Amino acid sequence: MMPLPSAQGGGWQFYGASSVFVLTVEVLAHAEKRIGNIMSLDALDTRFWPEFSKEEQIGSGIRDREAIDKLIQLYMNSTNIMYQFIDEETIMEDLDVYMDIRSRGSDFSLLKGEEANRFFRISMICAIACGNQSRYQSWYSGESMIFHSEALKCLEEVTSEVSVESLVALLLLIVFGQFYPQKGDLWKLLDYACRLSIELGYHTEQAAENEDEKQKLRRRKIFWGLYAMERIAGQLFGRPADLLESNITAEYPETHSIIDTVSISHHYRLVYLRSEIYQDLYLPARPPSFPLDWYRDRLSMIMQWRQELGFEGDAMASGPASVTCETGYNASILFLFQPLMLRALIQTQDPNYINEGDAVPSDNYHAACEMIKWNGWNAGHVQEAIRQGTTPVNEKANTTKVPLKMTAPSILLFGATGNIGQHILRAIITSKSNFSQISIFTSPTTVQSKAPFIASLTNSNVHVLMGDVTSRSDVVKACQGYDVVISAVGRGVIASQIELISWIKEAGVKWFFPSEYGTDIKYGPKSKDEKPHQAKLKVRENLEKSGLDYTYVVVGPYPEMFLKSVLPPEYGSFDVKEKKAVLLGDGEEKVGFTAMPDVGKFVVAALLHPEVSKNRALIVNSFTTTPHEIVKEFEKQTNSKWTVTYTSLDDLRKLEEESWEKGHPSAASMTLRRIWTEGGTLYDKMDNEELGVKETDTLKHQVKLVIEGTQ
């Protein structure tokens, strides 16, 4: 309601007809009259409500750099995807200043200039990130309040000038107010921010000729982020716009990123379209009575917006970006037809009502069904929703979602210092921009014995967690807060992962990569009886019963080990110095190999394509070749003719049997070599392409590495 002067001395104008809350109240009132009391608290499903206690409001003191950095990453990968007014390139500089201020024990109220702005930004970012998380982990609410109160100590300083820093400060307060409306006057903050943006000229392109491309993009991101916030809040709660469309000439912040284009610019277009509908349908003092053709025209515009997305298929199976677009589309249809629905609800409460041709288009019904389906799915997946970045624009406005990028997952790696673990870790670090946090779990002994390697990880912003992998308390504590755990433990401790599965589930981890990275243990009917497979088979059985999501990365043998084997020559060998080779079988049996760096590449691809990789075995490789082709490549690169002998499959089986009988350490390796020679790495189709991996290592390169290693 807003005061409205009139000839009779004044009155009130109701601006809330556009609010989803008005529709909710009318639906509940209608149901009460039709079927009786439905508002008993006992009828409410509270399974997904976070537990809360007064003690939790105190906060637990998140102030170390690692924790602050994690909150910043959460903010940057969720809120800042939608409202991109925080500069990604300077955020770490802000953090450095923030930590320095805290270490000095400075009085925050005395901060001035750039220091004040940097401290305020980090404090508010952390407050917002904690507010975001508090909807699912209630103790974050206390931390959010602490960060907010610290930021307010330098509020006057950071909002005292007509500058972009002041505008960003206001925008941060507005976003925070969406989680905690009682902590500020949202309308005043929006009003101040809109006026300041106009004073800075951010709503036009008049200053574009004096800006470089980076400055233009930043200005547009800031303005359209403010525009979206102002419009969404106005449409939810019924409020006229401060930013008039007739004055806006700022271009949309187009980027080359597909996610950004869908989640940012296209969302702004939908908000703009809804704003035009809002002005015509909801703002007039007397509610208009448009013909159905008017509604059809507006519906056509909304449908055209959706078609421009080019999206087809099941949104829920395609990820949060698609879900958000579908939700925005259906919410807009409800927004368009809400006046008709309200009218119908009021009319049909009268038991004597006779329908004389009034109608609500069926699109409204189908859109409502889609919204119910999405919100029902979301209610049971709140933790997954916050990790994937699908979050409400306001803590009370759960029917209106804003599109946020999938939050970058946090990764914890076991066995990271081992042979294959190092390659997996290196690939993850190379792609670190896709992950909110990268950590390894290792023992204090390893930290000491591999100090240079551990130091290099620390320099790469990898967090090193120390503990005992056989200790439940150490593992559960280390895994808390991580989305994905990847195991790369060695063959000798494969079975220990059975306990690890229960511990990481207890810690709240959702997705587990067990240590596979080798031969397919379910290749055929005989695979279940192979001795080297037994531990992995038990791990798979327990994992698939655990309820965790899982991914098995099956890669076959590593050429690095196959081509320079330390086993006796008759087990298969390539001797560069002697120019001799002992080939298994007849030399024509094809074998699929995966280079160790490519194993890391495939693990990263699996992490980035959960829609492809979850709850299945991925079959991948670098190249497929034969022993004869390997010898030819050695001969070519050494410019020499090699002496070749053979170990037949029958002889190989005898050697394998003898190895097991004698308890030889190489027995498992012999079994695997026999499996490879029998064709246990060959498939009609690999999963490389589905994972988006097009370039892999080659036989030529692997042979070159072996030759160089012997010189």
Where in the sequence numbering do the catalytic residues fall? 536
Rounded to the nearest 5 percent, the helix, strand and coil shares of the chain are 55, 10, 35
Q: What are 210's two structure tokens?
A: 């004096």
Those residues with Cβ within 8 angstroms of residue 136's Cβ, 6 or more apart along the chain or in another chain: 50, 382, 383, 386
Q: What are 572's two structure tokens?
A: 């298969």
Tell me how far apart the alpha carbons of residues 389 and 404 are, in angstroms, rounded to a whole number.
5
What DSSP string runs through 500-541? HHHHHHHHT--EEE-S--SS-TTSSTTGGG-GGGHHHHHHHH
Of 65, 52, 134, the C-alpha closest to 94 is 65
Using the Cα atoms of residue 349, residue 355, residue 360 and residue 363 in order, give the sign of their dihedral.
Answer: positive
Tell me how far apart the alpha carbons of residues 433 and 677 are, in angstroms, rounded to a whole number.
40
Q: Are strands 580-584 and 573-575 parallel, antiparallel or unpaired?
A: antiparallel
Tell me how far apart the alpha carbons of residues 382 and 209 are, in angstroms, rounded to a whole number.
46
Q: What are 251's two structure tokens?
A: 């271009």
CA 630 centroid distance within chain: 42
Angle between helix 266-281 and helix 292-309 axes, rounded to 10 deg: 170
CA distances 672 to 515, 565, 592, Å, are 16, 13, 13
Tell me how far apart the alpha carbons of residues 66 and 437 are, in angstroms, rounded to a whole number.
9
Q: Are strands 549-554 and 573-575 parallel, antiparallel or unpaired?
A: unpaired
Tell me how far apart the alpha carbons of residues 143 and 125 are, in angstroms, rounded to a whole number.
12
Enclosing H/E stretch for 293:
helix 292-309
* Contact (CB, 8 A) for 401 and 321: no
DSSP classification of residue 406: P
CA distances 473 to 137, 495, 504, 512, Å, are 21, 19, 11, 19
Tell me how far apart the alpha carbons of residues 506 and 77 are, in angstroms, rounded to a whole number.
26
CA distances 486 to 168, 242, 410, Å, are 38, 50, 11
Determine if residue 641 is left, alpha or beta; phi over 0 gives left, psi from -120 to 50 gives alpha, anything else beta: beta
Q: In terms of residues, how long is the chain? A: 711
Enclosing H/E stretch for 596:
helix 596-608
Amino acid at 260: D
Tell me how far apart the alpha carbons of residues 115 and 266 are, in angstroms, rounded to a whole number.
36
Tell me how far apart the alpha carbons of residues 591 and 598 are, in angstroms, rounded to a whole number.
16
